[in-house]
Amino acid sequence: MKKKYYIETQGCQMNEYDSDKMKDLLKKNMDFEPTLAKEEADILIVNTCSIREKAQEKVFSLLGQWRKLKNKKPDLVIGVAGCVASQESSEISLRAPYVDMVIGPQTIHRLPEIYKDSLKSNKTVIDVEFPLIEKFDNLPSVTEAKFSEFVTIMEGCSKYCSYCVVPYTRGTEVSRPLNDILEEIDILVKNGTKEIILLGQNVNAYFYDDGKGNFVNFGLLLFYIARNKGIKRIRYTTSHPNNFDEQTFLAYEKIPQLVSHLHLPIQSGSDRVLAAMKRGYTVLEYKSIIRKLKKIRPEMTFSSDFIVGFPGETDNDFSQTIELIKEIEFEQSYSFIYSKRPGTPAASLEDNISEDKKKERLNYLQSTINSLSKERSKSIIGKNVEILVEGVSSKYNDMVTGRTTNNKIINIPGTEKLIGKLLKIHVTELNNKTLKGEVLTT
């Protein structure tokens, strides 16, 4: 009988991607099979996030539960992967010595060896190095492809915003070779993928130099990718305002497959706070990117990341954030209360804002964005739009869910046969938060 694995994933899309790759390794290289029942598993892995304190504490409480399973089944192998593994490697072996493997975000491809070593050792095996781009050369190749697939083009971050742990946990920016990316996409498309989502901590910091005088930046990469005519849509996440190159603007002009929605983190609408965060741009500079994009594509919509309650943020700073949200009409956000992270420069700043005030600001910010989103949804009722069908609706099993180029989710009657199709539809109603429509052509 095959051994079984169970992986729990916390945090961002990079972690989702890494977990998928660990699952591939377990199935293809280690002959394990998946299980949904933790009690049945021979190997349990949690892929962790340390961006905020709460996420990190969750890991230790989960490990406490898994310890009980190990007491009943001493052969059980427990692994901690991801950013908490990277940041707290020795702390984990101290606080939770029953953990067998600690695997950093850049060493997941070494899982088969780390696993073997852990079987031989009675101590926690730790491997949290940053071995450049070795990871991608050692992952199993693609054999099955969904209609929408993530493709990692770069890893890490070299921005060192004053509040953030990512440069320390995932390492500095490293780009994958152009040909590796194009080949991976080619295989995915040949296996049925229609939508490519380029993934990286700062995708538009992508820069590959082949050492022979040829180089490619993010904008050029988009042009290379768009040459594959099997791709119906190209999306990317996450980008940084300081890395917008001229070729990327040109890509919005020339590449229709590139969607008219951009997630561009700003964090705050106050220059004072942005400077304290060491973001490296002003509100005006951010707005000039938006203005240029809207000039090229007036229909373009935007979403962003925000941190509220950064040390020293005044009511006035916060109002500037709200004004900016209304001006740009952000429709979605990843917004959180600032969390002090040990080892980051901002950790030494005095946290002078009360918890209640932080919560109040976060609620206000989120409700402002929600109402802008609702307004936009209302504005497309009665209009004809195009959607790419993603899957069967989670609420209604006689409907499928698709996404417009502006990232609006719309349900239409239909079955899974429509998945992966680009359809012209007529938007009929907004029910609660759900948009519904009817197909015009198939």
Contact footprint for ligand 5AD (CB under 6 A): 51-52, 163-164, 265, 267, 305, 307, 334, 336, 338-339, 341
Q: Please state, in angstroms and rounded to a whole number, the distance separating the CA atoms of residues 88 and 289.
A: 38
Instruction: Indicate whether 346 belongs to the interface with ligand SF4 (CB under 6 A).
Output: no
* Nearest Cα residue to 131 out of 105, 160, 92: 105
**Single residue of 44, 99, 164, 273 touching ligand SF4 by CB under 6 A:** 164
Q: Site residues for ligand SF4, window 364-423 (CB under 6 A)?
A: none
Which of ligand 5AD, ligand SF4, none sits in contact with 109, Cβ below 5 to 8 A by type? none
Contact assessment for residue 388 and residue 422, using Cβ atoms and an 8 Å cutoff = yes
Q: Does 159 bind ligand SF4 (CB under 6 A)?
A: yes
Q: What is the rounded CA–CA span in Å between residue 372 and residue 330?
A: 7
Footprint on residues 296-315 left by ligand SF4 (CB under 6 A)? none
Shortest Cβ contact with ligand 5AD: which residue? 305
Q: How far apart are the first and last CA of the chain?
A: 46
Please say whether the dihedral angle defined by the alpha carbons of residues 293, 295, 298 and 304, taken in this order, is positive or negative: positive
Smaller CB separation from ligand SF4, 65 or 158:
158
What's the min distance (Å) between Cβ of 387 and ligand 5AD?
28
Asked whether the CA dihedral 271, 272, 274, 278 is positive or negative, the reply is positive
Q: Of the two residues 157 and 425, which places its CB atom closer to ligand 5AD in the complex? A: 157
Q: What is the DSSP string of 3-62?
A: EEEEEEE-SSHHHHHHHHHHHHIIIIIT-EEE-S-GGG-SEEEEEE--SSHHHHHHHHHH
- Determine the interface stretch with ligand SF4 among 71-79, 152-160, 320-328, 424-432 (rule: CB under 6 A): 152-160
Closest distance to ligand 5AD from the beta carbon of 48 (Å): 15
Which candidate, 203, 166, 158, places its Cα nearest to that of 84?
Answer: 166
Q: Which is nearer to ligand 5AD, 32 or 206 (CB)?
A: 206
Nearest partner of 377 among 442, 413, 329, 319, judged by Cα: 329
For residue 176, count CB atoms less than 10 angstroms from its CB and return exposed for 0-12, middle for 13-18, buried for 19 or more: buried
Residue tagged 């993928």 (tokens): 193
List C-alpha distances in Å: 51 to 100, 119, 141: 24, 31, 30
Q: Would you state the torsion angle of the CA atoms of residues 375, 381, 386, 389, taken in this order, to the nearest 10 degrees?
A: 80
Shortest gap between Cβ of 378 and ligand SF4 (angstroms)? Answer: 33
Q: Which is nearer to ligand 5AD, 76 or 325 (CB)?
A: 325
Which of 50/201 has CB closer to ligand SF4? 201
- Which of ligand SF4, ligand 5AD, none interacts with 167 (beta carbon under 5 to 8 A by kind)? ligand SF4
Q: Does 166 bind ligand SF4 (CB under 6 A)?
A: yes
Closest CA to 206 of 160, 173, 228, 183: 173
Indicate whether 273 belongs to the interface with ligand SF4 (CB under 6 A). no
Give yes or no for a contact between 192 and 420, defined as CB atoms under 8 angstroms apart.
yes
Residue 201 interacting with ligand SF4 (CB under 6 A): yes
* Interacting positions 210-249 with ligand SF4 (CB under 6 A): 240
From 12, 157, 290, 410, residue interacting with ligand SF4 (rule: CB under 6 A): 157
Minimal distance in Å, beta carbon 203 to ligand SF4?
Answer: 11
Taking the least distance from each CB to ligand 5AD, the nearer of 100 and 155 is 155
**What Cα–Cα distance (Å) separates residue 104 from each residue in 4, 109, 111, 171, 289?**
22, 10, 10, 10, 35
Exactly one of 22, 63, 111, 161 binds ligand SF4 (CB under 6 A); that residue is 161
CB of 79 to ligand 5AD, least distance (A): 24
Q: Which residue has the tokens 């598993």?
A: 41
At residue 272, what is the residue type? R
Q: How far is the CB of 315 from ligand SF4 (least distance, A)?
A: 24
How many residues of this chain interact with ligand SF4, rule: CB under 6 A? 10
In angstroms, give the least distance from the CB of 332 to ligand SF4.
Answer: 17
Binding site for ligand SF4 (CB under 6 A): 157, 159-161, 164, 166-167, 201-202, 240
